[in-house]
Amino acid sequence: MTTTTAPPRAAQRRLDRLERIWEEPSGLVGWLTTVDHKRIGILYFFTSLAFFVAGGIEALLIRTQLLGPNGTVVSPELYNQLMTMHGVTMIFLAVIPMQIGAFGNYLLPLMIGARDMAFPRLNAFSYWVFLVSGIFIYTSMAVGAAPNAGWFDYVPLGSRQFSPGPGIDFYTLGLIFTGISTTASAINFIVTIFKLRAPGMSLNRMPLFCYAILAVSFALVFALPSLSTALIFLELDRALGMHFFDVGFGGDPVMWQHLFWFFGHPEVYIIILPAFGIATAIIPTFAERKMVAFALVALAEILVAFIGFGVWAHHMFTVGLPTVSQTYFAAASMMVVIPSAIQLFAWITTIATGKPRFETPLLFIIGFIVLFMIGGLTGVMTAAIPFDQQAHDTYFIVAHFHYVIFGAAVFPVLGGIYYWFPKVTGRMYNERVGKVSFWVTFAGMNLTFFPMHIVGLLGMPRRVYSYPGDVGWSTLNLIETLGAYLLAAGLLTIVANLLVSYRRGARAGNDPFGGDTLEWSVSSPPPSYNFPVIPKVSSPYAMWDRKDREDDEQRLAEGELVLEEGHETPSSTVLDADWDEILDMPSKSWAPVVLAVVLGLVFAMMLLQHYVTALGFAALAGLVLAAWNWKEPQVA
Amino acid sequence: MSDASDVTRSMEATGAVAASYAARRRRARPSGWWGVSLLICTEAALFGTMIASYFYLQAQVPEWPPPGVDKPIVTWPLVLTGVLLATSVPLFLAARAAKRGRTRATWLMLALALLVQCAYIGGQALLFVDDYNKSHPTENAYTSIYFTLVGLHAAHVIVGMALIAFLLVRLLSGLTNYRLVGVRVVALYWYFVNLIAVPVVLTQVSPSL
Amino acid sequence: MRRRPLGLPLPLLLWFGLLGAPLAWTVQHIFGFGLTQAACSLASRGSSVPVDSLTLVATIVATVIGVLAGAAAIAAFVATRDAGTELPGARLQFLATVAVVVTPIFLCIVLMSGISVLVLPECHQS
């Protein structure tokens, strides 16, 4: 917890100059043309929050329909759309963009001591494509034709024959579209981590949150193309009459499952890995000690992503594959637990051997640890082929993945929102209400999802729109629905706390919690240029290296490493971060948002099967891309 | 640690000599190189899953191609692929000339590559029309995967040609660090497109081998 | 810090130790999955594919590579034990620690799947 003294005049002149160079205009135009990673992070935050609310409303409608037997709250047709959109929204439009788009974008450059991402305009483009593709997908709901074949849309149910309307086309084209955003983000993160780390931040001195982002980004780069292939095949089948998945013409519906799950399983690790990163950022701060087994935790992040590519067919254990094929996946599915266990062990030991301060962010992380253990255990159970063949497609699986998605991804996100709220807004949240919001959310979560284990083992299948009253599932479903409402109340408490605190919370200094990473060394909120001086780094806990941070002040006064001749940030070598170049970063640009809108038109035309017009818009997109690259970043 | 005076400000390199100097002083590969390499990873994964799907579908049926569909021709696709692979040479020379600050040589090598690629895509179009007359893509799973795989590669070639055309236009106004990196990364993209052509064409003609 | 443990350059040992076992597993996994799928598919009816012998070969090769990678990792780890906090020594020590832990995990997966395939009846569906 530091106090900043007013810098001497030379230093102040430098700060003013940096501010002039990096400041972006306020107002609508400023936000539409922004390339500042912090603004883009905030845009991502509110957009993914809106989609999270939409997904949550869909969930509450589902739970209300299942409140009692033979429910009539929604029709079966609407239920199928709600159930599908809940999955699609939460995974593609809420949890992942929140973690990598909001947290990743805002924090990564700050944690590595850089002034922006490697490709700022590409970053903005990622956001606008995310927004436009999300609107594209939700247009389906507006026209009453949302996709309705489940979030993984198995064929032949998803084929033209059995889903004749445009719903599945919204799904295929919408997800290809959204994939462009995520791929661009992933590439941006990797290059930023490789090239823009502050000089001296070698691989062994990079914060663990950055390892999580690195792992997630590599997973996205290699997993998304498989989904694209599946979606391209399906759309070609549906729109042009091809036969990738038609048995009668030599196709195979199981091929959809292979292609989808080769993407789908890494996707669920993509959902959870940034959350692990958030946990490893919060724990050292509140345990007031360095993370136990730093190298192994860094490794574990990467390993989960890597091994996760080899387990996809465990989603297909009941499809009829030969046991000798399934075996490879059962083995890998069991061993993928090891890196997760390494991390759990490290987290728990760090908290237990530190001096833990049980404030709201840490409470959410402890809740996450408990819920992740439960979800992980049911995961190991289902890795065993005989058990999975009984539990597959029952509510047991629904319980498992909600424990890992809600418990292990959303809980750290909630903790992270509390943790970095002071940094982003400059205000402190209310700690007492924070603790209450944790307990209500934790109780609601368990009340909703724990009974699903039991009702699943009692035989309740997934995705059913209602159930009969005489099979013994009614009481458990009632509890789950009440739990869902309690959970919603907990989440609303969090929102209320933050909204009120934004207006009336106590002013937060640079470092209210005693954080260990570099974002805590700058003001709250950070200046547009992030760092007045490029920080010197000697360890992964840069904020706790007091000598280095004092040297920063000295260097500002002397003008060393201030890089104030333009939109500048250093570029270094990959392994040891030796300083190699000074890069000039681009400033505000219209090209990203315009290109995203033009691409939206391309996809809309493809949806309507006006392919020639789509090609025309694609050519226009090419021109916009040319205009984008026409303006080269130059010295300010 | 080095100070600001002995590290290059690469974006200041707005002329051929300065750009070449910056390129030679750089110790690590530029950000653009990493960005395009990762793009290549995603595209490689895309082609990989499509090629895997081809052989997966083949394993599901007793006869491949299915009865009623001609086996693919071998000679012309392989010849054309050889022609395409050869364009890697002028592209490599263009990238090397750019690093040496020789704008005119860069431009000529890129133009040569583009010319040969036009001949290639013309030949591919003729082969496509020939295939299309023999069987329609919507006949069965074989024709579906065949046309999609070949079409996907052709789309990558066309995009690459557009990238070269863009560079040719920009280089008319001289060489900067930004454009130098652009030449390098477009060449890198093309090395990938040319290399991946080999497994694609071998898959395409595999029933006749 | 020793620059040439076992007479080989340290970076070579380190990268082999780090990547050898994961790559061996990747190849054995893809090969094994492809092999079992091909052997049990419609297209191979009438021809018998020697699943067990090919699986045995793949598993042995992967295990040998994994064990060699483990030895390289241990050599690199021992050589960088006293690296301190200066670069590149600290970074090499960090990677060597990672390499030593990575290898046993992948060796386990290779052996688990290889042995199971040899034990289970071919093309049987459970």
Long-range contacts of B111-115 (CB under 8 A, 24+ apart): B111/B168, B113/B87, B113/B164, B113/B190, B114/B161, B114/B164, B114/B165, B114/B168
Instruction: Tell me if A188 sits within 8 A of A249, measured CB to CB.
Output: no
> CA C92 to CA A320: how far, in whole Å?
47
With 60 as the cut, is the pLDDT of residue A267 above it?
yes
Distance from CA of A307 to the nearest CA of C (A): 9
Phi/psi at A522 (5° precision): -110, 175
Predicted confidence at residue A2, as pLDDT, reads 46
**Cβ of A191 and B46 within 8 Å?**
no
Q: How far apart are the first and last CA of chain B?
A: 59
Chains in contact with chain A (at least 3 beta-carbon pairs closer than 8 A): B, C
Distance from CA of B180 to the nearest CA of A (A): 12
Predicted confidence at residue A4, as pLDDT, reads 52
Residue A166 preceded by cis peptide, ω within 30: no
Going by their DSSP bridges, the two strands B8-9 and A579-584 should be labelled as: parallel
State the angle between helix axes of A294-307 and C89-119 in degrees (0 to 180), rounded to the nearest 10: 40
For B39, the token pair is: 């793009």
> CA A635 to CA A450: how far, in whole Å?
58
Q: Which residues of A touch B66 (CB under 8 A)?
A: 250
With 50 as the cut, is the pLDDT of residue A542 above it?
yes
- As a whole number, the mean pLDDT across chain A is 94
Q: Does A242 touch chain B (CB under 8 A)?
A: yes
Burial track B155-181 (b if 16+ CB lie within 10 A, e otherwise): ebbeebbebbebbeebbeeebbbbbbb
> CA B73 to CA B205: how far, in whole Å?
7
**Cβ of B141 and A632 within 8 Å?**
no
* Chain centroid to CA A464: 28
Q: Which residues of A touch B43 (CB under 8 A)?
A: 225
Confidence class for position B3, pLDDT limits 50, 70, 90:
low
> CA A289 to CA A362: how far, in whole Å?
14
> CA A124 to CA A313: how far, in whole Å?
36
Distance from CA of A278 to the nearest CA of C (A): 21
* A576-594 per-position pLDDT tens digit: 888 888 888 888 899 999 9
Q: Which residue of chain A comes nearest to C85, CA vs CA? A: A538
Confidence class for position B179, pLDDT limits 50, 70, 90:
very high
Confidence class for position A278, pLDDT limits 50, 70, 90:
very high
Confidence class for position A60, pLDDT limits 50, 70, 90:
very high
> CA B37 to CA A187: how far, in whole Å?
9
Q: Which residues of A touch B140 (CB under 8 A)?
A: 243, 249-251
Q: Does A331 touch chain C (CB under 8 A)?
A: yes
With 60 as the cut, is the pLDDT of residue A31 above it?
yes
With 60 as the cut, is the pLDDT of residue A5 above it?
no
Average pLDDT over residues A521-548: 92
Torsion, CA A417, CA A418, CA A419, CA A424, rounded to 10: 70
Q: Which residue of chain C comes nearest to A578, CA vs CA? A: C87
The length of chain C is: 126
Predicted confidence at residue A1, as pLDDT, reads 43
Element (H, E) at A383: helix A360-383
* Closest among B64, B144, B58, B204 to A243, alpha carbons compared: B144
> CA A110 to CA A543: how far, in whole Å?
12
* A112-156 per-position pLDDT tens digit: 999 999 999 999 999 999 999 999 999 999 999 999 999 999 999
Outline where A288-359 has alpha helix (H).
Answer: 294-307, 323-335, 337-353
Instruction: Tell me if B168 sits within 8 A of B112, measured CB to CB.
Output: no
For A632, which of B1, B50, B178 is closest by C-beta distance? Answer: B178
**Cβ of C42 and B58 within 8 Å?**
no
Q: Which of residues 562-581 of A touch C (CB under 8 A)?
A: 575-576
Q: Which residues of C touch B59 (CB under 8 A)?
A: 37-38, 41-44
Element (H, E) at B204: helix B177-205
With 80 as the cut, is the pLDDT of residue C21 above it?
yes
List A507's β-bridge partners, or say none: A427
Q: Which residues of A touch C117 (CB under 8 A)?
A: 324, 327-328
Q: Which residues of A touch B160 (CB under 8 A)?
A: none
Low-confidence winner among A88-92, A575-579, B152-156 (lowest mean pLDDT): A575-579
List A568's β-bridge partners, or say none: A584
> CA C124 to CA C126: how far, in whole Å?
6
Chains in contact with chain C (at least 3 beta-carbon pairs closer than 8 A): A, B
Average pLDDT over residues A235-245: 96
* Chain centroid to CA B8: 31
ipTM exceeding the 0.90 mark: yes
With 90 as the cut, is the pLDDT of residue B27 above it?
no
Q: Which residue of chain A comes nearest to C35, CA vs CA? A: A325
For A214, the token pair is: 């690195």
With 90 as the cut, is the pLDDT of residue A163 above it?
yes
Low-confidence winner among A118-122, A417-421, A435-439, A629-633 (lowest mean pLDDT): A629-633
- As a whole number, the mean pLDDT across chain B is 93
Q: Which of residues 52-111 of C touch B (CB under 8 A)?
A: none
> CA B8 to CA B1: how far, in whole Å?
14
Q: Which residue of chain C comes nearest to B1, CA vs CA? A: C87
> CA B156 to CA B152: how far, in whole Å?
6
With 50 as the cut, is the pLDDT of residue A636 above it?
no
**Cβ of C41 and B62 within 8 Å?**
no
Average pLDDT over residues A539-547: 91
Q: Which residues of C touch A322 (CB under 8 A)?
A: 36-37, 40, 122-125
With 80 as the cut, is the pLDDT of residue C1 above it?
no
Predicted confidence at residue C47, as pLDDT, reads 67
User: pLDDT over 70 for what percent of chain A?
Assistant: 98
Q: Indicate the SS3 state at residue A570.
A: strand
User: pLDDT over 90 for what percent of chain A?
Assistant: 85
Predicted confidence at residue A515, as pLDDT, reads 93
* Closest among A222, A221, A224 to A188, alpha carbons compared: A221
* A201-225 per-position pLDDT tens digit: 999 999 999 999 999 999 999 999 9
Instruction: Tell me if A519 sits within 8 A of A423, measured CB to CB.
Output: yes
For B11, which of A118, A200, A583 is closest by C-beta distance? Answer: A583
**Cβ of B10 and A573 within 8 Å?**
no
Q: Which residues of A touch C85 (CB under 8 A)?
A: 538-539
Q: Which residues of B touch A221 (CB under 8 A)?
A: 38, 41-42, 45
Low-confidence winner among A4-18, A309-323, A325-339, C77-91 (lowest mean pLDDT): A4-18
- Which of A397-406, A531-540, B27-36 tops mean pLDDT? A397-406
**Cβ of A563 and B4 within 8 Å?**
yes
The length of chain A is: 636
**Cβ of A581 and B50 within 8 Å?**
no
Q: Which residues of C touch B62 (CB under 8 A)?
A: 42-43, 45
**Cβ of B61 and C43 within 8 Å?**
yes
The length of chain B is: 209
Which of B5, B12, B29, B42 should one mutate to test binding to chain A, selecting the residue with the greatest count of A CBs within 10 A? Answer: B42
With 90 as the cut, is the pLDDT of residue B25 above it?
no
Q: Which residues of A touch C56 (CB under 8 A)?
A: none
**Cβ of C125 and A322 within 8 Å?**
yes
Interchain CB contacts (distance < 8 Å): A and C: 100
Outline where A99-239 has alpha helix (H).
Answer: 105-112, 120-142, 167-195, 208-235
| One-letter amino acid for residue B41 of the chain | C
For C36, which of A306, A325, A332 is closest by C-beta distance? Answer: A325
Predicted confidence at residue B4, as pLDDT, reads 61
**Cβ of A561 and B3 within 8 Å?**
yes
* Closest among A91, A239, A87 to A164, alpha carbons compared: A239
Low-confidence winner among A229-233, C10-14, C15-19 (lowest mean pLDDT): C10-14
**Cβ of A386 and C126 within 8 Å?**
yes
* A453-476 per-position pLDDT tens digit: 999 999 999 999 999 999 999 999
Q: Which residues of B touch A190 (CB under 8 A)?
A: 34, 38
Interchain CB contacts (distance < 8 Å): A and B: 164
> Per CATH, is B33-208 categorized as 1.20.120.80?
yes
**Cβ of A578 and B50 within 8 Å?**
no
